[in-house]
Structure 1
Amino acid sequence: MIADRILLARRKAGFSLRDLAAKMDNRVTAQAIGKYERGEDIPSSGVLIALAKALEVSVTYLMDTQGLVLSGVEFRTKANTTSADRATVETEVLEWIERYLQIEHILDLDSAEWKPPFATLKKLQRIEDSEGLAREVRSKWMLGTDPIPNMTELLEEKGLKVLIVDLPDRVSGFTCIVAREEGSPGLPVIVVNRQFSLERRRLTLAHELAHRVIDPTSLPDKEEEKAANLFAGAFLMPQEHLLREVGKQRNALGYKELIALKRLYRVSGAALLMRLKQIGVINESILTYAFQTIARGWRTHEPEELEEEKIRGERERPRRFERLCYRALAENFVSLSKAAELLRIPLPKVEAGLKGPQIDHADHHQ
């Protein structure tokens, strides 16, 4: 396991064997690192610490101290990722999942199990079938037709682990399976690009949810992607609800109305317009006119974003892992330093998160 982790972390960092040796001030040779990666030798504790520092990963990542076995990450083959992207994200996912499983182990919790809406994956005959599939998923999960206030929270409740990280601009997100020791089910993870707007991240989560319920053998690759896109729009903007809000047919749309609607459904303005076209509220010419006038530039620049750029990735971020860490800390199952290590934040910030805002009692009693 140490061998695989060193290799992955080195690929993530983009180092050659010689680069890594130099980064470690030549504490060990490139040949020695090669032996570590091939499993022909095991680094000493001092070398392991130096490797972790040079590779900017935790020692825990390089050497599992909880007896957890993570054998790798299986990416959805249709994800638009290069081998370099995958090495980077695989390291991030494995380290994060390992910390996640550690806190569940400390609290003696079974890892939250993915609760799919159907016993088997759904086969689609055509792209348009994903409209009905989105309706079925909502029905199975008893969501009704109202807008979903928090997609991340919903998916975490259903046992999917959601990770928000920086990804290349061309990658909005993807699903992967983290395999564990034999006999333990794989952990499905949805990875989303932190650099994208909240509106786009929500659509990505819904898109990747589609890939967790659609049988990948149903449609050719490109058609499956289109089906997942249609599913995402239908899941976040149910036809029945949207028709009540805008009417069955429109010949014109206004800027303020569209902004109010995108805020209601918490989706991108461009996705909203495309959805209105999909369900027949507007036709192709009205859609084209909108993108040339009031919605000009919306395909590349989100109007009146729900989340300011300076807090990108904060709203609707995954909360369960953080919550479990603070639970363990409050119950003295972990120390402040261990909680800081798990959360990867400074110790004073962890302490502030535990104690909350401090009131000056002298001023309070005056």
Structure 2
Amino acid sequence: MTDDHSLTLANVVQFDATAAVADAFDGARLTQARRLRGWTKKELAGRIDVTPAAVGQYEAGAIRPRPEQVRRIAEVFTYPASFFAAGRPRAALDTGGVHFRSLRSTPARERERALAFTERLWELAHELESYVRLPPVDLPGWDGGEITGNALSDPITAAHALRTQWGLGEGPIPHMVRLLESRGIIVAILPYLSPDSRKLDGFSTSRLPRPIAILNEERNDVYRHRFSVAHELGHLIMHGEAHPGDIHHERQADAFAAAFLTPSHAIAESLPSRVDFTRLSNLQQTWGVSLDSLLVRCREMGLHSDATSSRAWRRLNALRSQGLLPNTPVEGFPGEIPVMLKQAFGMAQRKGASERRLADDLHWNEEDVRTLLQLGDPRPALHLV
């Protein structure tokens, strides 16, 4: 009798909770959750036994799901039903607000998944800031969600101005990721979410209250990784209005990255007038840039003719095909691995935060928190001998 009564009471409490969520249902939360899973509206509709049109109406806020539908939605996503209620800080991004390098090579579903990941990342950072003060954003023209004032549109001028503002001098930059994080920019590695994740290059946005740069974990070479970070930094300070896939913007970001990492007046005397891969390899390690980038700089500064450049590229490709120039993994360079949010969580733990508490406050599950903080699986591994 007591067990039946308890079960009935639990059902009533659950119904009351889902009824409250149904009354305050936030369609944008459903859109975010669906995009993060990489599901179409049709695929989600099949999982919750409604029509694709109904899913579209839920997301648009035209109609609200009934309590039993809310319960089913929460079950298929393995989220608490309260995740779908309005009233909490929420990031909102669309493709037009993000500097995607190419729209043709990446399926729309993968871009939407990346947008949802970035929204979640900002929400986690916002929650952590209730415990810890993250570094203030230090970008020219930054005004809490947009770049204002006179935009630095010339890549060379912008690179010089930023080095000056950040007090970097003219020499090599030891750690690019750590540099951005110290200036209040969130940097993260996009996890391998699907086979199409490999097609998605780095991207960035200045449309949220804190700028974010996302890198692809498949790029396992520290020199290309650093250039990608500098490329996204160029977008953040030069292109307040995102034009995804715009070739002119992409070329400007590349030019900024080259000028920021290897200022011409500082590296010019070190570049060889002849193709000398031993000397270029030494410069690679000193300046933290790829051999490709150094060859481009030699050509830009008039040290190599078109014919010389062509021969150099052929030799470089031949060396790589023979396995003589292997990639240098990012893991060996701690300053190039994002740590700001993970370290913020470590500090927050001393003020009572935990994975469970963050998950409860965000209305997520703990696995999502661990993934974004790069904490890994807390369970001990069983090894059979």
TM range (shorter): 0.7 to 0.9
Match of 1:322 among 331, 337, 342: 342
2:370 is aligned with 1:343: yes
CA distance in 1, matches of 2:355, 2:249: 46
Are 1:191 and 2:214 matched, yes or no? yes
Corresponding position: 1:282 with 2:304: yes
* 2:256 matched residue in structure 1: 231
Amino acid at match of 1:262: Q
User: Do the aligned partners of residues 20 and 325 (structure 1) sit closer, same or farther apart at CA in structure 2, a change above 3 Å counting?
Assistant: same
SS of equivalent residue, structure 2 residue 276: coil
Determine the structure 1 residue equivalent to 2:4: none
SS of the aligned residue for 2:151 comes to coil
Q: What displacement does 1:334 show?
A: 1.5
Q: Please list every run of 5 or more consecutive structure 1 residues that lacks an aligned counterpart in the other structure.
A: 180-185, 352-366
How far the C-alpha of 1:98 sits from its partner, in A, is: 1.2
Residue 114 of structure 1 corresponds to 137
* Equivalent residue letter for 1:154: L
Within 1, Cα distance between the matches of 2:212 and 2:125? 12
Q: State the match for 1:93 in structure 2.
A: 118
The correspondence for 1:72, drawn from 65, 82, 93, is 93
Residue type of the alignment partner of 2:214: V
Count, aligned residues: 325
Distance 1:302 1:9 in 2: 45
Over aligned residues, Cα RMSD in angstroms?
3.7
Distance verdict in 2 for CA 1:38–1:149, change over 3 Å? same
Letter in 1 for 2:288: R
User: Relative to 1, partners in 2 of residues 1:293 and 1:77: Cα closer, same or farther, differing over 3 Å?
Assistant: closer
Describe how 1:192-271 pairs up with structure 2 within 5 A. 192-196=215-219, 197-214=221-238, 221-246=246-271, 250-254=273-277, 256-271=278-293
AA in 1 matched with 2:378? P
Structure 2 counterpart SS, 1:348: coil
Would the alpha carbon gap of residues 281 and 59 (structure 1) be closer, same or farther in structure 2, given more than 3 Å must change?
farther
Larger deviation, residues 132-141 vs 115-124: 115-124
Distance 1:31 1:122, change over 3 A: closer
Q: 1:168 to 1:334 in 2, by over 3 A?
A: closer
Aligned to 1:105: 130
Q: 1:91 to 1:78 in 2, by over 3 A?
A: closer
CA distance in 2, matches of 1:250, 1:337: 59
- Larger RCO, structures 1/2 (Cα 8 Å, 6+ apart): 2
| C-alpha distance in 2 between matches for 1:122 and 1:298 | 40
C-alpha change, 1:130 and 1:32, in structure 2 (3 Å) is closer
Q: Which residue in the other structure is 1:2 paired with?
A: 26
**Higher helix proportion, which one?**
2
CA spacing shift, 1:67–1:14, aligned 2, 3 Å: closer
- What is the match of residue 272 of structure 1? 294
Map 1:48-197 onto structure 2 (within 5 A). 48-53=73-78, 59=80, 62-63=83-84, 67-73=88-94, 75-76=97-98, 79-81=101-103, 83-107=108-132, 109=133, 112-117=135-140, 120-124=149-153, 129-165=154-190, 166=192, 168-179=197-208, 186-196=209-219, 197=221
1:104-150 C-alpha deviation (Å, 9 max, x unpaired): 1234x3x65432135734354xxxx4223312221121101221121
| Residue type at the aligned position of 2:328 | L
- How many Å apart are 1:101 and its aligned residue? 1.1
Structure 2 runs not aligned, ≥5 long:
1-24, 142-147, 360-365, 381-385
Other-structure match for 2:145: none
SS in 2 for 1:270: helix
Distance 1:78 1:144, change over 3 A: same
Q: Distance in 2 between matches of 1:176 and 1:86?
A: 13
Scaled by the length of structure 1, the TM-score of the pair is: 0.74
Match of 1:162, SS state, is strand
C-alpha distance in structure 1 between counterparts of 2:140 and 2:42, whole Å = 49
- CA–CA distance in structure 1, aligned partners of residues 313 and 82 of structure 2: 47
| Other structure's SS at 1:305 match | coil
